């Protein structure tokens, strides 16, 4: 028996729907994605049930069984659709939702149980297109009322969120796409009329995979979705199409079938094209903003340095008695002003290093140097500070001498010093231990272990970002730019190395590992992009 | 008495360095921009030039280029003292014969004086 073309599409549709369900759930671990995952499973069951119903036409017992199965799936889907709309509109915490949502699930469950009885659908009739279906019974009528009510609620919520002035653009967009998806889904709902003897050519089967794709698009990170999934879907659709022609050459698609396929391809193509363009524009905009930001910080930093140099210079001269002997009472505040200006200058310098990093203007001067000597130099620089705080400062020398490393000694030292300074700054009792070793014969590992405030696990990645600081660090030392580790990480990354941190948590201390390749192919000179115009003449 | 020419357009800073240097026994001249500096320099033959980079009209780098045309100036050591902190400018300055390149805000005036003394002797 030949079946209409859209029926054959049910099987690849089921596969596709299961795929997008998993895709969406694996990509974004939010509740709405989990709901959508279950919704996809329901749809897949529905699609397979429909296919088996068609292929079993003639065997009434099987037809009734599969029709009940697909109704069972539909009963599962209604509360999920309603729930998804609430999640997307952020309405789950509303009073009405707290009553309606459990009600939707309970009723859905009751109807699902009912589908297994003759009170929902029973008896089989045959119609053109080689199809067959069961007759609707009392339960089916009530089910339709239930379905229309809750789907209307969902539509209402989504529409309101989409048109709302108060919602964020992102939420509105999400609601808009979900609304589109639900409209497509409702179009597929005309299939329900079959139980009442109103027959359509089953082209509406195509709306189920379309619905899943649109919802995935709405609730997954859009750029990711377009970049990977839409392409996959498009290629998949073309493959299905081509292989259908190849394996079922006698298959009569009919004008409707052809039109459906054509529209499907057209929609996915245009979506893909549109979002590729949007993506390009967004990227350009982001780059422009980031460039403006770094230029702004750089200009501000230069402008800040002049008055700061004046404050620093004059207070230093007053302090030294250049303007007459300074009374004891005044010398204390003058010293404070001087120290404050110096620490502010350091912050400005930090800001400048970051903007330079972001513009790729840091120049590396690689040569072979001794890590051992460098570490001893670092220790000398901070020895006094550790002593003043009453902390120990140990260097556990490796048993074997360390090989010399090729890199920019100044930059690597800068990175080590930033971490070492932090270790002393954020340690109250105990001290700091530095050790160095050769790792996998290709890297040198410098470990800086302190007994300080520690770093919470969820922060161990974030602290390396610019302007980011650990919670415990802020409590102990409110000032700070959050740039030290960012600069350190960037300098080490320029040497193809990496910095990692290990901490057992609050007050358990932390250990920073700096891994530097012994012979890194580092970029010795980076392109300058911002030479003052007068120098270009 | 050794003569120092400060090329600096920020009055607040040029006054500061002038005060400190005079206290240390130097004679201090001040110019606000490159051409003015060349004029003053030709007349007074300084022993050292302290040069800012971001100046009105043209960059301090141009002083390093122009001074080579004048007998009186071409062998006078130049200490670049600027807040403009850019590798390209630094390298260019050294290429053109600057003795050192210091960032104003990173040093107290007395450190600058020490550096100047070091460069004159």
Query: Cβ of B58 under 8 Å from any chain A Cβ?
Result: yes
Which sequence spans correspond to the domains of chain B? 3-120
> What is d(CA B51, CA B66) in angstroms, rounded to the nearest whole number?
13
CB contact under 8 A, B20 and A322: yes
Query: Cβ of B109 under 8 Å from any chain A Cβ?
Result: yes
Non-local (6+) Cβ contacts of B95 within 8 A are none
Q: Which residue of B has its CA nearest to A339?
A: B108
Q: In this structure, is the dihedral angle defined by the CA atoms of residues B86, B87, B91 and B97, taken in order, positive or negative?
A: positive
Q: Which residue of B has its CA nearest to A527?
A: B88
* Distance to chain B for A306, nearest Cα, Å: 7
Q: What is the pLDDT of residue A531?
A: 34
* Distance to chain A for B28, nearest Cα, Å: 17
Place of tokens 């140099």: A309
Query: Cβ of B108 under 8 Å from any chain A Cβ?
Result: yes
Q: Which of A310, A361, A532 sits opposite B13 (nearest CB)?
A: A310
φ/ψ of A451, rounded to 5, equals -110, 35
Reported ipTM: the value is 0.91
Query: Cβ of B96 under 8 Å from any chain A Cβ?
Result: no
Summary mean pLDDT of chain A: 82
Chain-centroid distance of CA A74 in Å reads: 32
* pLDDT exceeds cutoff 50 at A536: no
CB contact under 8 A, A305 and B83: yes
Contacts of B92 in chain A (CB under 8 A): 535
Query: Cβ of B66 under 8 Å from any chain A Cβ?
Result: no
pLDDT in tens, A61-73: 999 999 999 899 9
Buried b or exposed e, range A195-211, using 16+ CB within 10 angstroms = beeeeebbbbbbbbbbb
**B6: pLDDT confidence band, cut at 50, 70 and 90?**
very high
φ/ψ of B50, rounded to 5, equals -100, 120
pLDDT in tens, B31-70: 999 999 999 999 998 999 999 988 888 889 999 999 888 8
Query: Cβ of B10 under 8 Å from any chain A Cβ?
Result: yes
**Mutation test of the interface with chain B: which of A339, A356, A534, A537, choosing the one with the most B Cβ atoms within 10 A?**
A534
pTM here is: 0.49
Contacts of A294 in chain B (CB under 8 A): none
> What is d(CA A117, CA A119) in angstroms, rounded to the nearest whole number?
5
> What is d(CA B31, CA B6) in angstroms, rounded to the nearest whole number?
6
With a pLDDT cut of 70, the percent of chain B lying above it is 100
Q: How many residues does chain B have?
A: 121
> What is d(CA A268, CA A351) in angstroms, rounded to the nearest whole number?
46
* Distance to chain A for B72, nearest Cα, Å: 25
Per the DSSP assignment, residues forming a β-bridge with B31 are B7
Highest mean pLDDT among A83-87, A352-356, A466-470: A83-87
Q: What is the pLDDT of residue A83?
A: 94
Q: Dihedral through CA A313, CA A319, CA A321, CA A325, nearest 10?
A: 140
Q: What is the pLDDT of residue B21?
A: 93
* Alpha carbon separation from A515 to A488, A500, B16 (Å, rounded): 12, 8, 46
Query: Cβ of B92 under 8 Å from any chain A Cβ?
Result: yes
Q: What pairing do the DSSP bridges indicate for beta strands A431-439 and A443-450?
A: antiparallel
Q: Which residue of A has its CA nearest to B112?
A: A313
A309 within 8 A of A353, measured Cβ to Cβ: no
Reported in sequence order, the residue ranges of A170-296 that DSSP labels E, i.e. its strands, are none
SS3 A396: strand
> What is d(CA B93, CA B61) in angstroms, rounded to the nearest whole number?
7
Q: In this structure, is the dihedral angle defined by the CA atoms of residues A260, A265, A270 and A272, taken in order, positive or negative?
A: positive
Q: Which of A317, A345, A361 sits opposite B87 (nearest CB)?
A: A361
> What is d(CA A215, CA A174) in angstroms, rounded to the nearest whole number?
9
Contacts of A349 in chain B (CB under 8 A): 106
> What is d(CA A15, CA A7) in angstroms, rounded to the nearest whole number?
14
Q: What is the pLDDT of residue A529?
A: 33
Q: Which of A313, A363, A532 sits opposite B59 (nearest CB)?
A: A532
Helix (H) or strand (E) holding A431: strand A431-439
* Distance to chain B for A530, nearest Cα, Å: 9
Kindly list the residues of chain A whose beta carbon comes within 8 Å of any beta carbon in chain B: 302, 305-310, 312-314, 316-317, 320, 322, 345, 348-349, 352, 361-363, 528, 530-532, 534-535
What share of residues in chain B are helix, strand, coil (percent, to 5)?
A: 50, 20, 30
Helix (H) or strand (E) holding A500: strand A498-503
pLDDT in tens, A370-426: 888 888 888 888 888 888 888 898 888 887 788 888 888 888 888 999 899 888 888
* pLDDT exceeds cutoff 50 at A533: no
A119 within 8 A of A189, measured Cβ to Cβ: no
What tokens appear for A273 in the block?
């094209």
CATH number of B3-120: 3.40.50.2300
Non-local (6+) Cβ contacts of B7 within 8 A are B30, B31, B32, B33, B34, B37, B49, B50, B51, B52, B55, B60, B63
Mean pLDDT across the stretch A116-140? 87
- CA end-to-end distance (rounded Å), chain B: 13
Contacts of B102 in chain A (CB under 8 A): none
Q: What is the pLDDT of residue A173?
A: 84
With a pLDDT cut of 90, the percent of chain B lying above it is 59
């Amino acid at each position: 028996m030949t079946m209409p073309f859209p029926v054959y599409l049910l099987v690849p549709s089921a596969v596709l729907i299961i795929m997008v369900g998993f895709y969406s759930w694996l990509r974004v671990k939010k509740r709405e994605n989990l709901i959508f995952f279950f919704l996809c499973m329901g749809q897949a069951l529905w699609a397979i049930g429909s296919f088996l119903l068609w292929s079993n036409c003639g065997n009434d017992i099987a037809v009734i069984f599969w029709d009940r199965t697909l109704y069972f799936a539909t009963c599962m889907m209604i509360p999920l659709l309603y729930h998804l709309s609430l999640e997307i509109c952020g309405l789950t915490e509303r009073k009405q939702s707290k009553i309606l949502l459990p009600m939707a699930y309970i009723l859905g469950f009751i109807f699902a149980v009912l589908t297994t009885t003759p009170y929902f659908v029973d008896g089989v009739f045959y119609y053109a297109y080689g199809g067959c279906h069961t007759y609707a019974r009392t339960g089916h009528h009530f089910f339709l009322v239930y379905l229309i009510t809750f789907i209307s609620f969902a539509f209402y919520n989504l529409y309101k969120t989409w048109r709302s002035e108060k919602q964020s653009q992102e939420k509105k967009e999400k609601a808009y796409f979900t609304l589109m998806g639900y409209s497509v889904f409702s179009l597929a709902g005309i299939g329900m009329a079959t139980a009442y003897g109103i027959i359509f050519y089953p082209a509406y089967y195509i709306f189920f995979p379309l619905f899943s794709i649109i919802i995935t698009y709405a609730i997954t990170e859009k750029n990711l979705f377009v970049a990977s999934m839409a392409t996959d879907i498009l290629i998949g659709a073309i493959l299905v199409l081509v292989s259908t022609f190849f394996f079922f050459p006698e298959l009569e698609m009919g004008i409707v079938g052809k039109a459906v396929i054509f529209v499907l391809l057209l929609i996915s193509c245009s979506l893909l094209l549109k979002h590729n363009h949007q993506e390009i524009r967004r990227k350009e905009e982001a780059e422009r903003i980031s460039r403006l930001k770094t230029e702004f910080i750089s200009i501000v930093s230069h402008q800040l340095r002049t008055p700061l140099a004046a404050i620093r210079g004059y207070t230093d001269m007053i302090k030294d008695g250049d303007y007459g002997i300074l009374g004891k009472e005044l010398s204390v505040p003058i010293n404070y002003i001087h120290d404050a200006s110096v620490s502010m200058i350091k912050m400005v310098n930090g800001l400048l290093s970051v903007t330079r990093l972001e513009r790729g203007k840091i120049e590396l001067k690689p040569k072979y140097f001794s890590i051992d000597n460098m570490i001893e130099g670092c220790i000398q620089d901070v020895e006094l500070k550790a002593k003043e705080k009453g902390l120990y400062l140990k260097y556990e020398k490796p048993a074997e001498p360390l090989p010399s490393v090729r890199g920019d000694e100044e930059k690597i030292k800068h990175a080590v010093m930033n971490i070492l300074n932090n270790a002393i700054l954020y340690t109250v009792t105990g001290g700091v231990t530095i050790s160095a070793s050769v790792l996998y014969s290709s890297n040198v590992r410098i470990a800086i272990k302190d007994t300080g405030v520690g770093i919470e696990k969820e922060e161990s990645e974030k602290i390396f970002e610019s302007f980011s600081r650990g919670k415990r660090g802020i409590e102990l030392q409110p000032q700070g730019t959050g740039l030290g580790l960012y600069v350190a990480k960037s300098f080490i990354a320029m040497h193809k190395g990496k910095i990692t941190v290990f901490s057992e948590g609050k007050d358990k201390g932390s250990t920073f590992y700096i891994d530097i390749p012994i012979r890194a192919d580092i970029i010795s000179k980076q392109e300058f992009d911002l030479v003052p115009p007068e120098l270009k003449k | 008495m050794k003569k120092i020419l400060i090329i600096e357009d920020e009055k607040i800073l040029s006054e500061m360095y002038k005060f400190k240097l005079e206290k240390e026994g130097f004679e201090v001249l001040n110019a606000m921009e490159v051409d003015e500096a060349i004029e003053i320099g030709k007349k007074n033959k300084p022993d050292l030039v302290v040069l800012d980079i971001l100046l009105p009209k043209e960059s301090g780098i141009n002083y390093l280029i122009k001074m080579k045309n004048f007998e009186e100036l071409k062998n006078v050591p130049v200490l670049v003292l600027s807040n403009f902190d850019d590798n390209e400018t630094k390298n260019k300055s050294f290429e053109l014969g600057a003795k050192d390149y210091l960032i104003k805000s990173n040093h107290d005036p007395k450190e600058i004086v020490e550096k100047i003394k070091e460069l004159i002797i």
